[in-house]
Chain A
Amino acid sequence: MPDANTSSRLRGHLASHGIAEGLIIVVLLGWHLLSLGMPDFVLPGPLPVAIRILELFTDATYFVHVASSAVRVVLAVLMAVALGSLLAFLPRWLPITEIIVHGRIKPLLNAFPSVGWAILAIIWFGPSNGTIVFIMIMILTPFCLVNVSEGLKEIDAETIEMARSFTRRRMVVLFKIILPLLMPYFVSALRIAYGVGWKIALVAELFGAQGGLGFLLQEAQGLADATTVFATCFAIVAIFWIGEKLIIDPLARRFTRQRIA
Chain B
Amino acid sequence: MLSANSSRSLSINTLKSAQPVKRNQRLAGHGFVLICLGAWAVFSATVDSYVMPGPWLVAERLIALLRDSHEASHMLYSFMHVTVAVAISFVIGSALAMLAQYAGLFRLAVHGRISPFLNSFSGVGWTFLAIIWFGISDMTVIFVISMVLIPFAIINMREGLENLDSERIEMAESFTRSRWRRFCLIVLPSLTPFIFATIRISFGVAWKVALTAELFGGDAGLGYLLNLARQDFDMPLVIGVIVIIVTFVFLTERLIFQPLQSRLSRHHAHA
Contact = CB atoms under 8 A, between A and B. Distances in A.
Q: Do these two chains really belong together in a complex? A: yes
Interface of A: 12, 15-17, 19-20, 23-24, 41-43, 95-100, 102-104, 106-108, 110-116, 119-120, 123-124, 146, 195, 198-200, 202-203, 206, 214, 217, 221, 224, 226, 229-230, 232-233, 236-237, 240-241
A111 B215 contact: no
A104 B122 contact: no
Contact of B108 (A19, A119, A224, A232): A19
Contacts of B32: 100, 104
Interface of B is mostly: helix
A103 B124 contact: no
A142 to B, nearest CB: 9
Contact of A229 (B129, B245, B250): B129
Interface stretch (B22-30, B64-72, B168-176, B184-192): B22-30
A209 to B, nearest CB: 13
B40 interface: no
A195 B9 CA distance: 23
Interface of B: 1-2, 5-11, 21-22, 24-26, 28-29, 32-33, 50-52, 104-109, 112-114, 116-117, 119-126, 128-129, 131-133, 204, 207-208, 211-212, 215-216, 223, 226, 230, 233, 235, 238-239, 241-242, 245-246, 249-250, 253
B9 A110 contact: yes
Contacts of B250: 107, 111
A124 B242 contact: no
B24 to A, nearest CB: 6
B28 A23 contact: no
A104 B124 contact: no
B121 A104 contact: no
A102 B9 CA distance: 8
B132 A226 contact: yes
A230 B233 CA distance: 32
Given A123-B235, A200-B122, A237-B120, 17 more contacts: A43-B133, A96-B25, A98-B21, A100-B29, A104-B2, A104-B33, A107-B2, A107-B250, A108-B1, A111-B249, A113-B245, A114-B211, A115-B223, A199-B120, A217-B125, A229-B129, A236-B122
A73 B200 CA distance: 28
Given A23-B109, A115-B211, A107 B9 contact: yes
Contacts of B204: 110-111
Given A98-B25, A104-B32, A232 B109 contact: no
Given A15-B105, A23-B113, A99-B21, A113 B120 contact: no
A1 to B, nearest CB: 21
Nearest to A122: B230
Given A16-B109, A221-B131, A236-B122, A100 B245 contact: no
Contacts of B22: 95, 98
For A12, A111, A195, A198, the residue with the greatest tally of chain B CB atoms inside 10 Å of its CB is A111
B141 to A, nearest CB: 13
Nearest to A142: B10
B122 A198 contact: yes
Nearest to B233: A123
Contacts of B120: 195, 198-199, 236-237, 240-241
Contacts of A119: 226, 230, 238
Contacts of B131: 221
B123 A199 contact: yes
B124 A19 contact: no
A113 B246 CA distance: 8
A198 B207 CA distance: 20
A212 B8 CA distance: 37
A6 B133 CA distance: 48
Given A100-B29, A104-B33, A124-B52, A112 B246 contact: yes
A15 B104 CA distance: 10
